[in-house]
Amino acid sequence: MDNKREYIYRIEPGDADFMKRATLMSLADYILHTAGEDADRGGFGVRDLNLHNASWVLTRMALEVERMPAEYERIRVTTWVSAVTRAMTTRNFEVFDEKGVRIACAVTNWAMLDLSARRMLDLHLLPAYDSMTQDFPLPAALPCRLAPLSGGREYEHAVVYSDLDFNCHANSVKYIQWAVDTLPLELLQQKRFARTDINFIREARYGERLRIVAAEEALAFEIRNPEREAVCRIAFRME
Amino acid sequence: MDNKREYIYRIEPGDADFMKRATLMSLADYILHTAGEDADRGGFGVRDLNLHNASWVLTRMALEVERMPAEYERIRVTTWVSAVTRAMTTRNFEVFDEKGVRIACAVTNWAMLDLSARRMLDLHLLPAYDSMTQDFPLPAALPCRLAPLSGGREYEHAVVYSDLDFNCHANSVKYIQWAVDTLPLELLQQKRFARTDINFIREARYGERLRIVAAEEALAFEIRNPEREAVCRIAFRME
């Protein structure tokens, strides 16, 4: 392969917020959807891995937004895999508007999970997967490792049916939603999510009462399970 | 016009629940999206009405499901307008699978709102709109008028950013989500939403702390605003 593969989407009314722009969640959703489609196309999708009782797990994500696309706008998402180690692979994304201007980009890290043993698998078990990698420069800095949060304002959320994905744990995009929903509406109106770093640490299961700890001024968040373990950490830089 | 117009969608992983079937919310979303697309196509969409400072408001919905479509399944949604009175118009939907089998249908009622005065407009103000109506039989019984609920288990939900639509009030599909999320997972696994009736009564605004009152055995729900007024009533029949 010598080209980034590309996928076209339209920002539908259901993807847009009251300002008629895509939400950070819907942009992240299109990006993760692209990952799924492209892995499928390469023969390494969740459906393929499921046959071997394995699945992809998103471990980190960095998402940079220059301009949030508007309702009814068409976006083109390109994607490529840039690295494969035993434990982790990196998948990159660039988002272009109809004029060909790059308006967002993302770098994601993924691990492969054995669904029975709930342990990580060696990515070299997929010998052909290396052929997926392409040698383009990273579109943004790698996702940061986020430090534990000591304190902040606390919110509670019990994981409900509509939060669940096919793995029966809370969907990655929901974590972003819980953090974004704690922010003041004025901030969301006045600024954009210039960069978002997310560390996915543990699964959040149905019925679990999570604590969303928000150090609001730092725009840093930690989502904890009832055992007080960090499930996810998120940091926003808004401009 | 002598044909029902049709729209094709695919049930994406993000539309599916942990059973890899469309959620009631995503099915309702595709149906309401179809309403928007078809009204747009006829020149009576929200964007057209907005030019006159007006908008469509969904007042009632009845949604019947014979079989919930599975992840990756393609569905064909047909739609037509069957009635226009001064106060209300009826839009109908049928959902077919790839074999041409009807798996769901819906009947919806809409009013036209003056966005400044927040009052309903006479639909005969749209003289050409009558040409939208088509004389096909209703696919299901009209949405029921639901009675007030006296008591039930209560849940609280504050309207957050991700709940808001372009009108800056909670999106219609969110009401369904709040009700569905109170149901036991076992019930959602074992039964389908044979029929859902919804009455949309008032807008729910940002920051409002709503009470979701659930008479769970009757599968009847009333969502109330802080003034204890009913915002929405929902009734499910599960089979």
Are B93 and B198 members of one domain? no
What six digits make up the tokens of B19?
């059973």
Residues 6+ apart with CB under 8 A from B109: B58, B59, B60, B61, B88, B89, B90, B142, B143
**Band of pLDDT at residue A130, cut at 50, 70 and 90:** confident
ipTM: 0.92
pLDDT of A1 above 70: no
Are A159 and A83 members of one domain? no
A231 in any annotated domain: yes
| A to B CB pairs, distance under 8 Å | 68
pLDDT of A220 above 90: yes
Are A171 and A103 members of one domain? no
Return the pLDDT at B218: 85
Are A121 and A201 members of one domain? no
Query: Which among B99, B132, B165 is the end of a domain?
Result: B132
Nearest residue in chain B measured CA to CA from A70: B166
Helix (H, G, I), strand (E, B) or coil at B184: coil
A197 in any annotated domain: yes
Are B123 and B166 members of one domain? no
Return the pLDDT at B236: 98
Amino acid letter, A116: S
Are B177 and B213 members of one domain? yes
**Band of pLDDT at residue B133, cut at 50, 70 and 90:** confident
CATH of the domain at B200: 3.10.129.10
In 10 A of CB B128, how many CB atoms? 9
A162 contact residues in B (CB cutoff 8 A): 17, 23, 25, 177, 180-181
Which of B13, B46, B162 comes nearest A23 by C-beta?
B162
A25 contact residues in B (CB cutoff 8 A): 162
| Mean pLDDT calculated for residue range A189-193 | 97
The answer to whether residues A127 and A81 touch, using CB atoms and an 8 Å cutoff, is no
A139 in any annotated domain: no
Query: Which among A103, A132, A161 is the end of a domain?
Result: A132
Mean pLDDT of chain A: 94
Closest CA to B183 of B217, B143, B210, B148: B217
pLDDT tens-digit readout, A193-205: 999 999 999 999 9
Top pLDDT among B130 and B49 is at: B49
Helix (H, G, I), strand (E, B) or coil at B152: coil
Interface of B with A (CB under 8 A): 12-14, 16-18, 20, 23, 25, 29, 33, 36, 46, 71, 160-162, 164-168, 171, 173, 177, 180-181, 183, 185, 188, 206
Domain count, chain B: 2
pLDDT of B1 above 60: no
pLDDT tens-digit readout, A18-66: 999 999 999 999 999 999 999 999 888 988 888 888 889 999 999 999 9
Are A14 and A56 members of one domain? yes
Return the pLDDT at B49: 87
A144 in any annotated domain: no
A47 in any annotated domain: yes
Mutation for testing the B interface, residue in A9, A72, A162 having most B CBs under 10 Å: A162
DSSP B29-83: HHHHHHHHHHHHHHT-SHHHHHTTTEEEEEEEEEEEESSPPBTT-EEEEEEEEEE
Are B83 and B39 members of one domain? yes
Q: At what angle do helices B24-42 and B172-180 cross, to 10 degrees?
A: 170
A43 in any annotated domain: yes
Give the side-chain half-sphere CA count within 13 A for A145: 0
Return the pLDDT at B21: 97
Are A197 and A115 members of one domain? no
Distances (CA, A) of A63 to A105, A234, B101: 6, 11, 42
A162 in any annotated domain: yes
Calpha distance B102→A231 (Å, rounded):
42
Mean pLDDT of chain B: 94
pLDDT tens-digit readout, B64-120: 999 999 999 999 999 999 988 999 999 999 999 999 999 999 999 999 999 888 888
pLDDT tens-digit readout, A154-177: 999 999 999 998 778 899 999 999
A115 in any annotated domain: yes
Are B95 and B161 members of one domain? no
Are B111 and B186 members of one domain? no
The domain in which residue B196 lies consists of 153-238
Return the pLDDT at A2: 63
Are B104 and B17 members of one domain? yes
Query: Which among A71, A98, A132 is the end of a domain?
Result: A132
